[in-house]
Amino acid sequence: MSDRGHRRLRVLLCYGGRSAEHDVSCVSAAAVGAGLDPARYEVVPVAITRDGRWLASHDAAAALAAAGATAPAALPVSGDDLGPFDGRDGASRHLRLPEVDVVFPVLHGPHGEDGTVQGLCDVFDLPCVGAGVLGSAVAMDKGVTKRLLHQAGLPVPRWRELRDGDDVGAFTDAVAAELGFPCFVKPANLGSSVGVTKAHDPVSLRAAIDVALGHDEWVLAEEAITGREIEVAVLGDRDPVASLPGEIVPTAEFYTYDDKYVSGAAELRVPAPLPPSAVEAVQDLACRAVRVCRADGMARVDFFYEEVGRGFLVNEVNTIPGFTPISMYPKLWEASGLAYPALLDRLIELARDRHARRRITT
């Protein structure tokens, strides 16, 4: 949709969702909604329920208006039904989106970060903040991400993949022989450390597989790395740029969901205490990883850093990173000189530019 004079852009803020990261999304969306300059944008909150209904959330709009620049704790998932399911008998209906200029999906995990909502925006001919269909789908699947990065020559931790229905015994034997113990087991298509377990022996490995399969059809086992956890925020499209790196010092055996969102006990070092040569190296790796995965717009790239050994290892690429008040993506950009409102401006600008460019070439 074209601008009419200097009117505010209508931004469809999409949050909630069907994944296990539903609650985190509601917190992230509250911060994004409060961070969008009301002189430039009209926020149109659309909540997605856990069973997949889309709601025009007047309660969320009211909460944002009342809070002003101070973000509410989380946006409510309530409002008028837009479809595509009526929530009672599952009968299909047309999805009726409000008229907007750009979609800002703050949907972590499957059914939002994985290319599904991005494809819906393409169908509706709407600019969408963040990576497109391909980049979102690739980065969502940790096994596919690791294969692509490995084939491109980027360093990654050793891993094995299991699909539900495969021979668990053979997989357990292969993990023990190739990765050893301890190792980490996680769902391939989830984030926020949901479903992640540290396995110390074959018995706990089998239990960890069951936990991960409760969230996804595909499961990864990864070697346990003795090293530092480093994260880099990436912003841009044709020429992505990297933020200063940050470091996470977890209080548990690894960076758990509780550490991230409940207790907030993990120490976040922004910027990370690294020598200039290491900063340049990890920034370069982050931009290379984003290009390999085609994660245009924004991404947070997570690394393990073996100071004595292999150096930086790419662990994950997150195309809709957390935007909560304690999330690393906005914190890293703030430390790099880009304030939260300006970051949101840039993300929306990138989305609209890419949409315009694709319209010309398709």
Kindly report, residue by residue over 74-85, the tens digit of the pLDDT: 999 999 999 776
What dotted CATH number matches 139-156+226-339? 3.30.470.20
Whether 346 contacts 235, CB under 8 Å: yes
Residue range(s) occupied by CATH 3.40.50.20 in the chain: 9-112
Q: Which candidate, 109, 24, 142, places its Cα nearest to that of 320? A: 109
> Mapped to the 3 state alphabet, what secondary structure does 223-279 carry?
ECCCCEEEEEEEEECCCCEECCCEEEECCCCCCCHHHHHHCCCCEEECCCCCCHHHH
Beta bridge partners, 218, equal 163
Spacing of C-alpha 96 from chain mean position: 26
Residue range(s) occupied by CATH 3.30.1490.20 in the chain: 159-223
Q: Which candidate, 78, 51, 48, places its Cα nearest to that of 62? A: 78
Mean pLDDT calculated for residue range 243-264: 69
Over residues 330-350, the pLDDT tens digits come to 999 999 999 999 999 999 999
pLDDT for residue 116? 94
In angstroms, rounded to a whole number, what is the distance separating the alpha carbons of residues 339 and 329? 11
Which of the pair, 361 or 304, is modelled with greater confidence?
Answer: 304
Residue 109: pLDDT over 90:
no
Mean pLDDT calculated for residue range 51-69: 93
Beta bridge partners, 191, equal none
The per-residue pLDDT of the chain, averaged, comes to: 91
In angstroms, rounded to a whole number, what is the distance separating the alpha carbons of residues 110 and 18? 7
Q: Which two tokens stand for residue 11?
A: 């931004």
| Residues shown for the chain | 362
In angstroms, rounded to a whole number, what is the distance separating the alpha carbons of residues 8 and 329? 26
Residue 198: pLDDT over 50:
yes
In angstroms, rounded to a whole number, what is the distance separating the alpha carbons of residues 309 and 292? 24
Q: Which long-range contacts (CB under 8 A, 24 or more apart) does 323-326 make?
A: 323/28, 323/29, 323/31, 323/32, 323/106, 324/24, 324/27, 324/28, 324/31, 324/261, 325/31, 325/71, 326/260, 326/261, 326/264, 326/268
Residue 172: pLDDT over 50:
yes
Residue 217: pLDDT over 90:
yes
What dotted CATH number matches 159-223? 3.30.1490.20
pLDDT for residue 85? 62
**Distance separating the N- and C-terminal Cα atoms of the chain:** 17
Banded pLDDT at 286 (limits 50, 70, 90): very high
What dotted CATH number matches 9-112? 3.40.50.20
In angstroms, rounded to a whole number, what is the distance separating the alpha carbons of residues 64 and 60? 6
Q: Which two tokens stand for residue 208?
A: 């960890």
Q: What is the pTM of this model?
A: 0.90
Beta bridge partners, 219, equal 162, 187
Residue range(s) occupied by CATH 3.30.470.20 in the chain: 139-156+226-339
